[in-house]
A and B are shown apart, each in its own frame.
Chain A
């Protein structure tokens, strides 16, 4: 059974710092890995999607890497801003023939001015 773990559970940093969020998964038979952002009272917003054959994806100040063989992904946020404060979730898409995302429990990020 796939298990997805995110460390740390919470993180507090001052504005401007570069930071790394970690995600690990136990079963490497995945189609892709997605990073989401969740804001209180709002839904999930997809940030980056990495196919299983890819090593990384970039969008603006965000860079996500994937090492499928070791079951790890990292989300790098450059020059953090208070607006980055949210909960970040990683999810892996299992190759079960239909779209089943298995989520981690998230990292709650607070960026202080």
Chain B
């Protein structure tokens, strides 16, 4: 089954404790990205990757890091999480950057930072 998976699905952590949220897709997609969703603000893009070893900042990259060492994986790293990073996070992927390609979303990771 074609899908985007994220782990963990739920995470409660404390301020400053480094964490990684994994994202993996089995569709051989080139393009992957991370979004966060907050009430009243909608989904906002954090980082995106056009291919292996090619990443760039989205609208709200502060406090996050990413890497793309393999085509299928695009982990999101929070080096020192803070309470304002409490949010619902989505990973997405698509075949490429053409407008004809739909983006497929993972199930989301709900992160709480206390």
A63 on the B face (CB < 8 A): no
Chain B minimum-CB-distance residue to A9? B40
* Known contacts A98-B48, A103-B43, A105-B41; A46 and B99 CB within 8 A of each other: no
Q: If the complex has contacts A46-B103, A93-B99, are A100 and B108 also in contact, measured as CB distance less than 8 A?
A: no
How many residues of B are counted as interface, with CB atoms below 8 angstroms from the partner's CB atoms? 28
Contact B48 A105 (CB under 8 A): no
Query: Across the two chains, which residue of chain B brings its CB closest to A46?
Result: B102
Binary contact readout B31-60 vs A (1 if CB under 8 angstroms, 0 otherwise): 101010000111111001010000010100
The reply to whether the CB of B97 lies closer than 8 angstroms to some CB of chain A is yes
B74 at the interface (CB under 8 A from A): no
Residues of A within 8 Å of B108, CB to CB, are 41-43
Q: Which residues of B contact A91 (CB under 8 A)?
A: 43
Q: Tell me, yes or no, whether A28 is within 8 Å of chain B by CB.
A: no
Between A34, A41, A44, A104, the greatest number of chain B beta carbons within 10 A of the residue's beta carbon is seen for A44
Helix, strand, loop or mixed for chain A's interface? strand
| B48 close to A106 (CB less than 8 A) | no
Contact A106 B103 (CB under 8 A): no
Number of interface residues of A (CB under 8 A): 27
Given A49-B102, A98-B56, A99-B97: A41 touches B107 (CB 8 Å cut-off): yes
For A89, give its contact among B43, B44, B50, B56 (CB under 8 Å): B43
Q: In the complex the two chains form, what is the Cα distance from A80 to B107 in whole Å?
A: 25
Chain B contacts to A: CB under 8 angstroms: 4, 31, 33, 35, 40-45, 48, 50, 56, 58, 90, 92, 94, 97, 99-108
